Amino acid sequence: MEKQIPVTNNTPIFQVDAFTDQAFAGNPAAICLLSGKTDTAWMQTVAAEMNLSETAFVTPLESGFELRWFTPVTEVELCGHATLAAAHLLWEQAVTTDTEIYFHTRSGVLAALRNKRCIELDFPATPATPAPCPEGLSSALGTEATEVLRNQYDYLLRVESESTVREMKPDFTRLQTIDTRGVIVTAPADGSDCHFVSRFFAPRAGINEDPVTGSAHCTLAPYWENILKSNKLTAFQASERGGTVHMELRDDRVILGGTAITVLTGTLTPAASRP
């Protein structure tokens, strides 16, 4: 794989809208292209400055790239939309072939492959199992769940209908008291364009509502596969910006498919560039 991230005094940074083919939709991520290792505290400061749900930092390695993800307040273990955005950007800026890109992350090695329709990400499945509903969660969401599950990251709540998902207005102050990274809310889709809809809330991670959450679909895919008896699924995350995610279950992996578009290019000045 040919790759070259230029070394300059000004650090390149981009904003990419992921899981959409239209600007100003999907989930925006900032992508910072680094030429070498840098300081974690600096990365967190840049992420706070960008103030998006995720800022990703990409560093070339001998066998792929290191990829790290930060919300405005913390580093996270797994992020789908910023991985999609990073792969899209690397094929635009640094990688000259269509061979797979390998990202070395805190969740292991993640592969990205580009085809004519979309970019596919090979992620670990993170299925959830039935769990009691924690005290205060239903009142924070303003609705009762028909089913409650949990995995190592998030709660997963199924609610009555797509309209329930779309019309939900959580109390984020109360939701922040729930001991979890985030809360996924889902229901069957009303139409034929997709199989289910969802929303994702993570105020404890500094994100009241994430527009489109790839990692949440690593939980949603095995849940809906068990119900719909299909390993190929399409979903719509019904946030204000909205976005479409394609999924295919392959044993303990989820192939997430989506498109992305670069909406902003720039540089961090020498005063703000990595130490």
Catalytic residues, which ones? 54
Q: How far is CA 171 from CA 21, 48, 158, 226, in A?
A: 31, 23, 18, 31
Alpha-carbon distance of 256 to 247, in angstroms, equals 5
Question: What's at 79, amino acid-wise?
Answer: C
Distance, CA of 57 to CA of 43 (rounded, Å): 8
Tell me which amino acid residue 44 is: Q
Q: What is the dihedral of CA 174, 176, 182, 188, to 10 degrees?
A: 10
In degrees rounded to 5, what are phi and psi of residue 116?
Answer: -70, -30
CB-based burial, 53-66: b 16+ in 10 Å, e otherwise = bbbbbbbbeeebbe
Collapsing DSSP to helix, strand or coil, 17 comes out as strand
User: Given the DSSP bridges, would you call strands 243-250 and 232-237 parallel, antiparallel or unpaired?
Assistant: antiparallel
Q: Give the largest CA-CA distance in the chain.
A: 54
Backbone angles phi, psi at 72, to 5 degrees: -60, -15
Give the Cα separation of 111 and 162 in Å (integer).
Answer: 32
CA–CA dist 203, 229 (Å, integer): 33
